[in-house]
Structure 1
Amino acid sequence: MFERKLWRFYFSQKLIIAGLCIGFAGLVLFSSSSASHTETNGMELIGNLVLLLSAVLWVGGSLYGKKVNTEAYSNTMVTSIQLIAAGIFSAFLAFPTGEWSRFSPDHISLQAWGGLAYMITMGSMVAFLAFTWLLTIRPPALVGTHTYVNPVVAVFAGWLFIGETFSTMQVIGLAVILFGVLLTKIQEYKELRIFGKGWLSIGKN
């Protein structure tokens, strides 16, 4: 939606419009199912809205970063600016929420420190840096395939390592979301010949 120059293409494709509607329906299904299994329905809804907003802002920032003159700024610098800005914003956001007054290093467990170290190294320095770098050398349709992998890995890891539970409706909602994302990208994949004649001819041979 942020790529205004491609609006004519996007809104002329029935699959893209259908994918957006189906994906949103899956999001509502997943969120409502999550809220129905908790006692804090209000906070669950707010949490889902925050996650949705963060995804929108991530896309906007990634598209902006892609347009930055890579000759003047390296990918490492562009990525670092994004991460530092996010850290500063989070630090200031902690004031009105009262997190600074409750913060005490002595009360932080070794497991929590380990999780923080993992997110800094693997989540930021490795994964996010690789993501922004790929955007500069590969078509967005290919880079966007991480959309299919991340939710599945997150749900499976939560179940495997910390015993999180999820309902059948949540799984269905997740599948609907992924199907919607696939529909929005089919046309791009065709243009990249992923579903084109090149692959069909290989299959016939």
Structure 2
Amino acid sequence: MKKPNFRVLILLAFFAIYVIWGSTYLLNKILVSEVAPLYLASIRFIIAGFLIFLIAKVLKYDITVSRRQFINTVIAGFFFLSYGNGVFVWALKYVDSGFAALLAATQPLFIVLLLRVLYGQKVLPKAIIGIVLGIFGMILLVNQQELNFYENSVIGILMIFTCILSWSYGSVFVSKNELPVNHFVSTGYQMITAGFSLLLGSLIAGETWIPPYQWSGSSQIAMLLLILFGSIVAFTSFNYLLKVVSPEKVATSAYVNPVIALILGWYFLDEGITIQSVVAAIILLTGVYFINRQKRLFKK
């Protein structure tokens, strides 16, 4: 009787990291059309962070951390959430959500390049193939006239690339430094500290703060979904899958999320999908596949 339940739980967890994470681009795009980007990101992470700690208390997790671990979570939270997510949400004002998701799929490529540049690690041949395909797909994706460009779209694209670089460096930083052993607790600290730094950034930037009860119904629902599902359910599912299936299978979310985002953006927001975008996506995601499928990316 336990096996079917176990399989169902795994399927639900994969649904979470595939579809829920893929839908966050659409949800953020809906919100940023009405709510200031840094302000909305701060609300999402502060509430989600406190909810995570509430859940951790109920599950009797130890939430105490050392001074070094706390500092490292603050740094990681900045690279992942304060800059990586906050600025990315801002860029969604000028870029289609599906297009942005495809750009975000290049993160594994950036991580490999950063490890090469910062630590001089020699990359294995299959990872090199992935890098070449990824760069070619990225150029093909950006260099097309049929895209729905808005005013300041070029700035939005450039800022998304800085966000990807921020996420990538954050991933390298986390792999090289001590964080809380419990990933759930670590994320809670990252979300709360990043949330308050985003709130400060919003204040400095002079954003208009519209209270949530004055938002439209669609924006309120989008924020609720982002907090409960995008920030808590999907992340918990991610950590669960890392314990029960191979990391390579979990990593497949990197090339499923953009497809989900493209479809949702096309269906709900009438975002265009060009033939060149499809070809670029196939090439780019193939490159990501070559990078992710390697258990070891570097020569010893």
Q: TM-score, normalised by structure 1?
A: 0.72
Per-residue CA distance 1:38-93 (angstroms, 9 max, x = gap)? 242xx2222223333333433443455566768x6422211112222332232222
| Secondary structure class of the residue paired with 2:148 | coil
Match of 1:103 among 204, 209, 213: 209
Q: Which has the larger radius of gyration?
A: 1
Q: Which amino acid letter does the alignment assign opposite residue 126 of structure 2?
A: L
Q: Which residue of 2 aligns with 1:169?
A: 276
Q: Which amino acid letter does the alignment assign opposite residue 16 of structure 1?
A: A
Further displaced range: 173-182 or 149-158: 173-182
Given the alignment of the two structures, is residue 182 of structure 1 paired with residue 293 of structure 2, yes or no? Answer: no
* Alpha-carbon distance, 1:36 to partner: 5.1
| Secondary structure class of the residue paired with 1:188 | coil
Distance 2:153 2:291 in 1: 28
Further displaced range: 174-183 or 161-170: 161-170
| Gaps in structure 2 of 5+ consecutive residues | 1-111
Q: TM-score, normalised by structure 2?
A: 0.51
Q: Which amino acid letter does the alignment assign opposite residue 270 of structure 2?
A: G
Distance 2:129 2:214 in 1: 49
Match of 1:55 among 135, 156, 164: 164
Q: Which residue of 2 aligns with 1:7?
A: 121
Distance 1:35 1:50 in 2: 21
CA contact (8 A) 2:147 2:274 kept: no
Q: Which residue of 1 aligns with 2:149?
A: 38
Map 1:116-135; keep pairs closer than 5 Å: 116-135=223-242
Q: Which amino acid letter does the alignment assign opposite residue 89 of structure 1?
A: S
% identical aligned pairs: 27
CA contact (8 A) 2:147 2:272 kept: no
Distance 2:121 2:244 in 1: 23
- TM-align CA RMSD: 3.1
After TM superposition, what 4+ stretches of structure 1 lie above 6 angstroms from structure 2? 67-70
CA contact (8 A) 2:242 2:250 kept: yes
Per-residue CA distance 1:143-196 (angstroms, 9 max, x = gap)? 22111100000000111222222222222221121011122234439xxxxxxx
Q: Which amino acid letter does the alignment assign opposite residue 170 of structure 1?
A: S
Q: Which amino acid letter does the alignment assign opposite residue 159 of structure 2?
A: V
CA contact (8 A) 1:20 1:180 kept: yes
| Gaps in structure 1 of 5+ consecutive residues | 190-205
Match of 1:24 among 123, 129, 135: 135
| Secondary structure class of the residue paired with 1:30 | helix
